[in-house]
Chain A
Amino acid sequence: MTPILISVGIFIFTLVIGIPVGICLGITGMIGVFILGAPMEVVAQRIFTGLDSFPLMCIPFFIIAGEIMNRAQITDRIIVFADVLVGRFRGAMAQANVVASMFFGGITGSAAADVAGLGSILIPAMKRSGYDAPFSAAVTAASSLQGPIIPPSILAVIYGATMGESIGALFAAGIPIGIMIGLSDMVIVAVIAAKRKFPKKVVRVTIIEFGKIFANAFVALVMPLIIIGGILFGVFTPTEAAAVAVGYAFIVGVFFLKTIKIKDIPSILVNAGITTGVVFLLLATARLYSWILSTNQIPAMISSGILSLTSEPIIIILLINLILLLVGCVMDPGAAIIMLAPVLAPLAISAGLHPVQFGLLMIVNLCLGLITPPVGLCLFISANIANISIEQVARAVMPFFMLNIVVLLLVSYSQEFVLWVPRMLGFL
């Protein structure tokens, strides 16, 4: 029992006094190494080996590609296209926000990039058109969860690299789930729009205009196809596909749209590098912490603890969901995957989940933590852009959260739903 108390206790203590999560994991890991009596060089060695991985290289590449696409003002084109698609419905801008996030999810792998990229344009625009600020921020935050679920997905890369599962299969499984999240957001928008009688606007677009708008957005829409298609046909490994995505974004931005000058490139790389630094500190120290957990055989203790409560698969899966939702409220999703995937996977698989299905279950659960207080990153960013308090967004985001839970249950209990795309594409 003592190892659990020490490793969990120190972690919570450091977290509560405001130390960044990535460093909390490092401090706890370091103290764990000290207590174990292992040489302290292990700390340095784990940090290095935790990052020295070819599959993880997807992450900086996807971040660079997303940063280039964003800087190339591709966001505006996506928004115009989304508006043409759903502009005829009540609450057009809110619906377009959700659809734009769906497409944006195909060029970025993280929810934070999605909120920041789309929110900075859409939240002020929605407020100007008379939508109230909390609703505008809530739609943006909720729909951004499609970013890390629709491929490319940084979280899928982390899960795949940690558990040795096919990143291609995880990407493929993310497509219908991400779209379901988006559709459930659209249902909520439609209900709220009908209740509050948001105005309808008349949209008339000729076929030629539509073609033009589609062509403008096409350069962005094609990116997930290159990534998924390339991995699918065995042309690229995920890391190579990500590098090709960078090359593609570069050519589109510099030569095709001409919205990026060569002199912008260093600052794009620096921004992307700093974002990578944040993610990689978490990855490296989470690896160290997870090594301490497994050396102390804590995963086995936790799973035997849960199995002593119940052996009913439905209840076990429900418990896993609850644990992940709670962890997601305070933890960064990527770090949580590295720490908890090895702990919970054996339990989940014994309850009948497929490893890929469990990966998506983890991703959806932990993403929901991004829109729940107290540390929902997406709430925080969107509240900041909308100039309102986190509590106001948190309240407005609740209906979206509730319906997303239904999608989560579908992921938890329907293997057919999660695995049909990867099976159809031949990943499994």
Chain B
Amino acid sequence: MFRDIIHKVYQGFEYFSEFLDRIVLFFIALLSVPLVMIVLYAVFMRYVLNSAPTWSEEIARYLMVWMSLMAISAAMRRGQHIGLTFVIEKTGPRLRKFIDLLAYALILLFFVVLLVKGIDMTIFVAPQRSPSVNIPMWIPYLSVPVAGFLMVIQTLTLIFKQFESQKELQNP
């Protein structure tokens, strides 16, 4: 009964995180194009038309922050963030399970803080406007809680996956 619930929850998270991942990949590609174009456009304007745009650097920076923060979760899903594994590889299966769950719990804590405090931060800067383009500052800052949220979902999915594999371990 309990295992069935875990299985259902895991499937739900897996489905949801895959869905989010697709959106993330779409955004990475979508934001990268104007990022490159804007910087090239600024070079072109400065040399050919002799009038460098004032807005290009700021917009490009915010696009880059959004793109790279969203990409962190795509990298997490694909196991691209490298860590030190040679110590835990030497532990037995039971201890290893425990250590892995502890690690995931700490990871989850960090991204929950990033999500919650990122929201506070975004609300705090909402009345401010960016120095050169004059867009509301919550637009760039919103990338932090969004990244936190994406990472929380990816981490929870990994945690439920742990429970899933534990089940397989008990009933081979």
List chain A positions with a Cβ less than 8 A from chain B: 14-24, 26-27, 30, 40-41, 43-45, 47-48, 51-54, 56-57, 60-61, 64, 235-236, 239-240, 243-244, 246-247, 265-266, 269-270, 272-278, 280-281, 330, 332, 374-375, 377
Cβ B75 vs Cβ A278 within 8 A = yes
Shortest C-beta distance, B132 to chain A (Å), equals: 12
A18–B102 Cα distance when bound, in Å, is 10
Cβ A277 vs Cβ B74 within 8 A = yes
List chain B positions with a Cβ less than 8 A from chain A: 25, 28-29, 32-33, 35-36, 39-40, 42-43, 47, 57, 60-62, 64-65, 67-76, 78, 80-88, 99-100, 102-103, 106-107, 109-110, 113-114, 117-118, 120-121, 124, 140-141, 143-145, 148
A61–B88 Cα distance when bound, in Å, is 36
A281–B69 Cα distance when bound, in Å, is 8
CB contacts (< 8 Å) of B76 on chain A: these are 20
Cβ B29 vs Cβ A280 within 8 A = no
Cβ B74 vs Cβ A269 within 8 A = no
Cβ B82 vs Cβ A377 within 8 A = yes
CB contacts (< 8 Å) of A48 on chain B: these are 65, 121, 140-141, 143-144
CB contacts (< 8 Å) of A64 on chain B: these are 32, 36
Once A27-B106, A375-B86 are accepted as A-B contacts, the answer to whether A277 and B143 lie under 8 Å apart by CB is: no
Once A274-B28, A281-B75 are accepted as A-B contacts, the answer to whether A17 and B102 lie under 8 Å apart by CB is: yes
Cβ B39 vs Cβ A240 within 8 A = yes
Once A44-B144, A61-B36, A269-B28 are accepted as A-B contacts, the answer to whether A21 and B78 lie under 8 Å apart by CB is: no
CB contacts (< 8 Å) of A51 on chain B: these are 64-65, 68-69
A171–B9 Cα distance when bound, in Å, is 51
Given pairs A246-B40, A274-B80, 17 additional interface contacts (CB within 8 A): A14-B103, A17-B103, A23-B81, A23-B83, A41-B120, A44-B114, A47-B114, A48-B144, A57-B35, A60-B67, A61-B39, A64-B36, A246-B36, A265-B29, A273-B68, A274-B71, A281-B81
- Residue of A43, A57, A244, A270 near B113 (CB, 8 A) is A43
Once A240-B42, A276-B67 are accepted as A-B contacts, the answer to whether A24 and B83 lie under 8 Å apart by CB is: yes
Once A41-B117, A61-B36, A247-B36 are accepted as A-B contacts, the answer to whether A277 and B72 lie under 8 Å apart by CB is: yes
A332–B84 Cα distance when bound, in Å, is 10
Cβ B39 vs Cβ A239 within 8 A = yes
Give the tally of cross-chain contacts (CB within 8 A): 175
Cβ A276 vs Cβ B68 within 8 A = yes
- Residue of B40, B87, B117 near A16 (CB, 8 A) is B87
Shortest C-beta distance, B17 to chain A (Å), equals: 15
CB contacts (< 8 Å) of A17 on chain B: these are 87-88, 99, 102-103
Q: Which of A16, A246, A278 has the most CB of B within 10 A?
A: A278
Cβ A273 vs Cβ B67 within 8 A = yes
A315–B81 Cα distance when bound, in Å, is 36
- Residue of B29, B106, B118 near A19 (CB, 8 A) is B106
Cβ B82 vs Cβ A21 within 8 A = yes
Shortest C-beta distance, B116 to chain A (Å), equals: 8
A266–B33 Cα distance when bound, in Å, is 9
CB contacts (< 8 Å) of B74 on chain A: these are 270, 273-274, 277
CB contacts (< 8 Å) of B85 on chain A: these are 18
- Ordered by A's residue number, 12 sampled pairs between the chains whose C-beta atoms are within 8 Å are A15-B84, A20-B76, A21-B82, A40-B113, A41-B117, A43-B114, A51-B65, A57-B39, A243-B36, A273-B71, A277-B70, A375-B82
Q: Which of B25, B39, B61 has the most CB of A within 10 A?
A: B39
Cβ A21 vs Cβ B83 within 8 A = yes
A270–B140 Cα distance when bound, in Å, is 21
Q: Which of A26, A45, A48, A273 has the most CB of B within 10 A?
A: A273
- Residue of A18, A21, A52, A332 near B65 (CB, 8 A) is A52
Q: Which of A240, A277, A330 has the most CB of B within 10 A?
A: A277
